[in-house]
Chains A and B, each alone.
Chain A
Amino acid sequence: MATIDLKTAEAEIPVIELLKKAQEEHGYLSPEVLKVIAARTGQPLSKLYGIATFYSLLTTRPKGKYRILFCKNAPCHVRGAKRVLEAIVSYLGVEPGETTKDGLFTLELTSCLGLCAVAPTMMIGEDLYGNLTPQKAIAILEDYRARERSEHA
């Protein structure tokens, strides 16, 4: 029998392009979206899901309204980013890569935001925040929640 590499690149490049396009259109790769692609390509859903979980630019989970990009690089790290991140994780109840139940925030780790002078830093949507402490980070997130509530009220 021939050797097959389960991640054979050539065979999957067109599929990856399809997945990327589908993600652009739908925001994320839901079971429904992947089922359509499975039917179109004849690939089992399990393999498509495998590709989607292999590449970090693809996601199988819906994104929240606000994307939190938290810097994980060294300058932030030495200035206490770990404690800030722990505080955010426990406040939101999600791990990096996950979205809060209310669909408001998706927490993601990123490399340098270019604001090392004011490390630790994070970006929420388009807004940058620096000199974070655990308290300060949570106050910022509470602000977003409060604003959301008043918008809905």
Chain B
Amino acid sequence: MATVIVDGIQVEVPDNATILEAAKLAKKEIPTLCYHPDLPAIGACRICVVEVEGEPLLKTACNTNVRDGMRIRTISPAIREARQTALELILSRHPQKCNECVRNGTCELQALASRIHVGEISFPYRQRPGSPDVSSGAVGRDPSKCVLCRRCVQVCEVIQSVGAIAVQGRGYDAWIDTPFSRALSEVGCVYCGQCVDRCPVGALFEVSHVERVWRALQDPEIHVVVQTAPAVRAAIGEEFGLPPGTLVTGQMVAALRRLGFDKVFDTDFTADLTIMEEGHELIGRLRDGGVLPMLTSCSPGWINFIEHFYPDLLPHLSSCKSPQQMFGALAKTYYAQKAGIDPSKIFVVSVMPCTAKKAEAARPEMKDSGYQDVDAVLTTREAARMMKEAGIDLSKLEPEDYDLPLGVSTGAGVIFGVTGGVMEAALRTVYEVVTGKKLEKIDILPVRGMEGIREAEIELDGLRVRAAVAHGLANARKLMDKIVSGQADYHFIEIMACPGGCLSGGGQPYPTTPEIRQKRAQALYEADRLLPLRKSHENPVIQELYREFLGKPNSHKAHELLHTHYTPKPVYG
């Protein structure tokens, strides 16, 4: 431990703490812009400068470690001037179109400018190089708004091991770009949106589906159904001022109903269905000597990643569609029949924590219902934006229930939103199906947690099933390299593209930090604990669906509607 004095206040901090962390303990919030707790601090913006006694120059608090006995000042005339100049330079290259900007109200630059007043900007405005690109239909870029914090570059390279974008040029004229200014779709971008989540400003964003959803809602001819992904209920409350980790399932349902959706259904229902299909697929591969380890397939960022970077491993992927796509295929077949509605008049909207889901819904093969199975995908943020525009404050509503039948789910479905959750849900069902015995310990703790790669073993009638879980694509890459080199003796691997799983997907409310991820995860495990049914195969509507419509898991009809195939793709198209 080290003792440091921050503005006269003495605090004890770990030896390797930064000045920024020490100041926090002294209850002083030093302003930052390029710093993000998930990423290596690179000291790019110089907003966080402080004075250290005995040092002639100002220090950047985010990447300077404390020393025992260090005396720090976090505000002084010199500090104020340095911060103002740094901010003024940034603003002089910024279009400042807040009223037209998707980040109006959540922008870190806006917040900084309201905290540090620079007054009139004395440098003339010069636009940054680089041109806007929304061609991916999922993740959009507007380099003119970039402040060059480099968070996107770091998250893409360090956490996702993709490296689709990097710093180009140098100095005053540097900018963030893809190689040769290609579209994101041509440089191996997987549309995870982790860069969108980390971007402090409006330079990165989701390609919006808000208008097409409004159009559908306002068309009396169209029957608009909505599905909500597991992770959304643990985060959307944040958009309405509730603390992270507040579970708002029922209030979210009420708010969506007030927006005008004809039916409010739950992706958790098809998460349960995914477990039935994927669980039986695993049992089949174990029994018949199929390709192992089997890899989960519900995270579209991960699917894009393996298609681009490990095409040879595609046979390992489960052929199951993601819960979003299973839902779309059933909404326009099973549900349409049951409700007596012409499927061409059904419009399926998803509310997802994810940007990659937009691209997934648009994949040409996702038409097994005879129509595009999912018509529009809203991120959690976009759904909240629509509610706010309509004057609906979710936090003030009484909880309501999902509609029948596609709104019934179990605890196994809800934990799909957190890393390890798909594995846990699958093991709960696979165990009971294979052994015919009741699983006593429903909570499978070894697969929980935020460790990048986790392993577990479960005994199934004499066979020890070895499982691994990875989240964040750099961790996925490590496991894939193990498979390639023949060192992976697992049977089943769960991969989620985003760190922490869908709960910190690229479409979730700003910001996402390690603490916020923890809280959202707790909320999902709490939701699981509170549900009367916690195993997918016990879901009565799933049982009915198989009886009435699909036959049995992995049946011919199930394969037609609920399974898919994958295509190797070059990294640089």
Binding site for B on A (CB under 8 A): 1-7, 31, 34-35, 38, 43-50, 53-54, 60
Contact = CB atoms under 8 A, between A and B. Distances in A.
Contacts, number: 67
Contacts of B157: 44, 47
Given A3-B42, A60-B180, A46 B166 contact: yes
B25 interface: no
Contact of B187 (A1, A43, A46): A46
Nearest to B65: A3
Nearest to B150: A6
Given A4-B154, A6-B167, A44-B162, 15 more contacts: A4-B40, A44-B166, A45-B163, A46-B177, A46-B179, A46-B187, A47-B163, A47-B166, A49-B168, A50-B166, A50-B167, A53-B169, A53-B170, A54-B170, A60-B180
Interface residues of B, number: 27
Nearest to B171: A54
Interface string B42-67: 10000000000000000000010000
B37 to A, nearest CB: 10
User: Which of A46, A47, A53, A54 is the most central at the interface, judged by chain B CB atoms within 10 Å of its CB?
Assistant: A46
Chain A contact residues, majority secondary structure: helix
B113 to A, nearest CB: 26
Contacts of B150: 6
Nearest to A60: B180
Given A3-B41, A4-B42, A44-B157, A50 B572 contact: no
B6 to A, nearest CB: 22
Nearest to A47: B166
20 contacts: A2-B40, A3-B40, A3-B41, A3-B42, A4-B40, A5-B42, A6-B42, A6-B167, A38-B572, A44-B157, A44-B164, A44-B179, A44-B188, A45-B163, A45-B187, A46-B164, A47-B163, A49-B177, A49-B179, A50-B167
A40 to B, nearest CB: 14
B165 A46 contact: yes
A50 B167 CA distance: 6
Interface of B: 39-42, 63, 150, 153-154, 157-158, 162-170, 177-180, 187-188, 571-572
Contacts of A1: 39-40
Nearest to A46: B166
Contacts of B164: 44, 46
B16 to A, nearest CB: 11
B166 A49 contact: yes
User: Which of A3, A4, A35, A53 is the most central at the interface, judged by chain B CB atoms within 10 Å of its CB?
Assistant: A53
The 9 A-B residue pairs whose C-beta atoms are closest, nearest first, are: A44-B163, A46-B166, A49-B179, A45-B179, A50-B166, A53-B168, A53-B169, A47-B166, A1-B40
A6 B42 CA distance: 8
